[in-house]
Amino acid sequence: MSAAFRRGITLHAVSFTLVAVYYYPALGWLLIPFAMLVALSRIVLGLHYPSDVLAGALLGDALAILALASGHHDLTNR
C-alpha cells in the first residue's frame, strides 16, 4: 500500500468486517464496532480527513460486496 492511498487501513477494516460477518454473523457485535473505531481513530488522531476515511470505508464496502457476489465464497464446497 503506497502513501498515495492512505485510507487503506479503513478500507481493510471495513472489507474484513463485512466478509467475516457474512460467514460468522455472531461476530458482528465485536467486528462492527471494531471497524467503526478504526475509522474514527484515523480522524481523531488527525491522520486523515473525514472524506478520506469515508472514501476508504465505501471502497472497502464495495470490494467486500464484489467478493461475496463473485460466487466463489462458499466455504463448504472446497
Q: Is the pLDDT of residue 62 over 70?
A: yes
- The amino acid occupying position 16 is F
Distance of alpha carbon 37 from alpha carbon 26, whole angstroms: 19
Q: Is 24 exposed, middle or buried (0-12, 13-18, 19+ CB in 10 A)?
A: exposed
For the segment 34-54, the average pLDDT, to the nearest whole number, is 94
Q: Which residues contact 17 (CB under 8 A, 6 or more apart)?
A: 31, 32, 34, 35
Using DSSP's 3-state secondary structure scheme, residue 34 falls into helix
Confidence of residue 78 (pLDDT cuts 50, 70, 90): very low
* pTM greater than 0.95 (yes/no): no
